[in-house]
Chains A and B, each alone.
Chain A
Amino acid sequence: LAKTTQPISMDSYEGQEVNITCSHNNIATNDYITWYQQFPSQGPRFIIQGYKTKVTNEVASLFIPADRKSSTLSLPRVSLSDTAVYYCLASPGGDDKIIFGKGTRLHILP
């Protein structure tokens, strides 16, 4: 499973767009990039998944360049409720288990 590296923490303000970058230099051909969100005292929640280029859903966008060695999770117009830990994962599609790193602690300020 490819190792991912992401910032330990980030601060932003309400209403701003937040971009969290994740590097995965040794990503394999059959790996997908997946992001999970976790609030305190709750289990992680799937946000978005992609393989290449751009994926967008009602919550976020995921940008993956052609070399796939990094990816960027974009959260538009964040609110205080987006304060959470965000995990970037690189693993084969349909993989049996998820290997989480320490994630990025995003703190949204008023």
Chain B
Amino acid sequence: DTGVSQDPRHKITKRGQNVTFRCDPISEHNRLYWYRQTLGQGPEFLTYFQNEAQLEKSRLLSDRFSAERPKGSFSTLEIQRTEQGDSAMYLCASSLATGNEQFFGPGTRLTVL
């Protein structure tokens, strides 16, 4: 296993379009997290899953954002009607349920024009 992977690495879209990102966690990890990071700031927590259950959502996750992990493996994060303020790096991480260490992917950089 080569770690957490994310696809695409970069996405440029026009305001108002929908985008979807994919995250593939480390195979034996049952927890999966999404974070958003803007320039000069640390990552901000968005949501996390334990297996296929979404257990917590940040208030940052407006109704335009939705995340799924249908089979408890990969996850998708969709942003509908994108806004320029959505431009950021979207990071995915995974961990064991009993572990303290989260393993991060390389991120998807979103630019909304």
Chain A residues engaging chain B, CB cutoff 8 angstroms: 32, 34, 41-46, 49, 85, 87, 93-103
Contact = CB atoms under 8 A, between A and B. Distances in A.
A101 B42 contact: yes
B62 interface: no
Contacts of B92: 43
A102 B40 contact: yes
A39 B8 CA distance: 19
A30 to B, nearest CB: 12
B26 to A, nearest CB: 13
B104 A43 contact: yes
Given A43-B4, A98-B45, 14 more contacts: A41-B109, A43-B107, A46-B101, A46-B102, A94-B100, A96-B55, A96-B56, A97-B33, A98-B33, A98-B102, A100-B35, A100-B42, A100-B44, A103-B42
B79 interface: no
Interface residues of B, number: 29
A97 B43 CA distance: 11
A101 B45 CA distance: 11
27 contacts: A34-B100, A41-B89, A41-B106, A42-B104, A42-B106, A42-B107, A43-B4, A43-B91, A43-B93, A43-B106, A43-B107, A44-B43, A44-B91, A44-B102, A49-B100, A85-B42, A93-B100, A94-B100, A96-B48, A96-B55, A97-B48, A98-B33, A98-B102, A99-B45, A100-B44, A101-B42, A103-B42
A23 to B, nearest CB: 16
Nearest to B102: A98
A101 B35 CA distance: 13
Interface string B23-42: 00000000101010000111
A89 B35 CA distance: 15
Interface string B55-95: 11000000000000000000000000000000001011100
Contact of B41 (A42, A49, A97, A102): A102
B13 to A, nearest CB: 19
